[in-house]
Amino acid sequence: MSAVTPSVSLKPSGGLRRRQIVNRIMELLGWSAALAAVGVLFIVIFSVLVQAWPALSWDFLTKPPALFGQPGGGISSAIVGSAIIVGMATAIALPVGILIGIYLTEFAPRFIAQPVQLVLDILNGLPTIITGIFVYGLLVIGHGQSAYAGAFALAIVMLPLVARAAQETLLLVPSVLREGSLALGVSRWRSVTGVILPTTLGGILTGAVLAVARAAGETAPLLFTCSIFNPAVSTDVTKAMPNIPVLIFTYSEQPDKALHEQAWGAALVLMLFVLVSSLLAKALLARSRGKLGR
């Protein structure tokens, strides 16, 4: 089989060649941008791992901070405090958020649903330090800092996340299910609590877990509400409790190598929690999507 020799060269030349070079350069830039993002993530994770390594020990996780000037000590009181504060915040934000989601998808007329959604999005974009200042003015002035003030501030951060997640999942419920239940003569409230909510449980839980992960790392709302505390383990919610984000923040501001090491250790604990939560959320989402047949 003899090839036909084209009379014109098929090699790109002139304008086409230039266009292809430009294209190649742009593709290369795209690759390097993706590489840069992933690179920064790995550098941060790697730094935390390497720097936190010397601090990690059983004592670090189970002992409260050492007294001033003494070596050793751990972050147990901050872990306990963070768990209590975030737990209380979740107990406030989760039910209210789910109720808002239900209202927006099941009951609200359009002219009410849209402004409420706008309000949720604006609450979500509010600088979290402002949330802290608000709660400071509301609960701290005259009463002093407390764990419940911190929890309330974190709940405000979580609320729009939970509400929007609930709303988005509820919208995925096939209308066949909703109409079928009503057609069987099931009352509205029973169809919501007995049919619609159970199918969306996975999606709502995903949103809740992501909101908890976000709240656990938030520092700004706690700065004016729950930051001046006794370092010992405490379960009194009317007093400020030690917590991980504020501990990292205050330690990082000190010119003390030992405290920096502890801050890195606490940062690793926090990052692990956030990472595990995100993975858990992903798994929950995949499972609920499977259930809804999407």
Partner 1 sequence: MAAVQPDYSVSSSSRRLSDRIGDVAIKVITALAALASVVLLGAVIWKVIHLAWPAITKYGLSFITETTWDPVKRQFGALAFIYGTAMSSLIALVIATPLAIAIALWLTELAPGGVRGIVGSLVEMLAAIPSVVLGLWGILVLGPFLANHLEPWLHDHLGFIPLFGEPSPTGTGLFTAGLILTIMVVPIIASICRELFLQVSNELEEGALALGSTRWEMVRGVILPSTRTGIAAAIILGLGRALGEAIAVTQVIGGGTNISVNIFGPIDTLASKIAAAYQGAGSGLEASSLLYLAAILMVIGLITNLFAQVIVRVFDPLKGSH
Q: Give the residue from 57, 77, 80 showing the smallest Cα distance to 67.
A: 77
Contact flag: residue 194 with partner 1 (CB under 8 A)? yes
C-beta separation of 199 from 289 below 8 A: no
CB 77 within 8 A of CB 231: yes
List beta partners, residue 73.
65
Nearer residue to partner 1 within complex by CB, 173 or 267: 267
Which of 17, 143, 190, 291 touches partner 1 by CB under 8 A?
Answer: 190
Task: Build a one-symbol-per-residue string for 156-185: x at contacts with partner 1 by CB under 8 A, - elsewhere.
Answer: x--xx--x--------------------xx
Nearer to partner 1, 84 or 157 (CB): 157
* Beta bridge pairs of residue 236: none
Query: Distance between CA 148 and CA 136 in Å, rounded?
Result: 11
Position 95, amino acid: P
Binding mask 271-290 for partner 1 (x = CB under 8 A): x--xx--x---x--------
Q: Which of residues 11-40 bind partner 1 (CB under 8 A)?
A: 19-20, 22-23, 26-27, 29-31, 33-34, 36-38, 40
Q: Of the two residues 130 and 201, which places its CB atom closer to partner 1 in the complex?
A: 130
Residues 54-83, mask of contacts with partner 1 (x by CB under 8 A): ------------------------------
Shortest approach of partner 1 to residue 4 CB, angstroms? 23
Residue 139 CB partners (closer than 8 Å, separation 6+): 146, 148, 149, 152, 225
- Phi, psi torsion values for 63, nearest 5 degrees: -110, 145
- Which region among 1-9, 55-63, 64-72, 219-227 touches partner 1 (by CB under 8 A)? 219-227
Check: CB of residue 270 under 8 Å from CB of residue 281. no
